[in-house]
Chains A and B, each alone.
Chain A
């Protein structure tokens, strides 16, 4: 079945980097854009960035410009989100999600990856 499986929870110190993976299965990886969003404890959803998995073009929310990088490995049907210069405010669950089409919804979500930033 169509699914996105993310890598496991991470604990990082302030100033470190984290790289979260999102492995797709059950569909043609390069036919759908991949988005990333996060959710701090007890808070709402915050969209971060997206990648065109075919061309590798990316778009980053200005808040994260310079700290987030999206990449993909088409041979492994896997998307990656790297966030650098971590601070305590980056403690959150990070989600990848597939976009159906242009102006379409996010129809399949990964299970989420908890990233904890603590000294």
Chain B
């Protein structure tokens, strides 16, 4: 199985900050990397797929990049509604696997 490692596991940040979350795969997954946002008590929401394509309706402050084994999710200017937990997920091979999550907290 492909292991997905996210860092950091948590981050204390402020509104307006630029935030970068990284995700590393244990083997090459091309660009089959997806990012999800999850708020407490809610289902995950797809933000970015194919490493860099923004899902319809997702604000443009979110962006993704990377290929192979190293990927990043960037939030250019944190908004209050962006404080949540973010997960990467590889869909390159079965079983699909998730990173352990990155929780963004208000500083």
Residues in chain A within 8 A of chain B (CB atoms): 35, 37, 44-47, 50, 59, 61, 95, 97, 99-100, 103-107, 109-112
Name the A residues within 8 Å of B95 (CB-CB). 47, 59, 61
Judging by beta carbons under 8 Å apart, are B44 and A110 in contact?
A: no
Partner among A44, A104, A107 whose Cβ is within 8 Å of the Cβ of B98: A44
Q: Which range holds the interface residue count of chain B?
A: 20 to 34
The B interface is mostly helix, strand or loop, or mixed, namely loop
The A interface is mostly helix, strand or loop, or mixed, namely strand
Residues in chain B within 8 A of chain A (CB atoms): 32, 34, 36, 38, 43-46, 49-50, 55, 87, 89, 91-92, 94-101
Judging by beta carbons under 8 Å apart, are B94 and A59 in contact?
A: yes
Name the A residues within 8 Å of B38 (CB-CB). 45
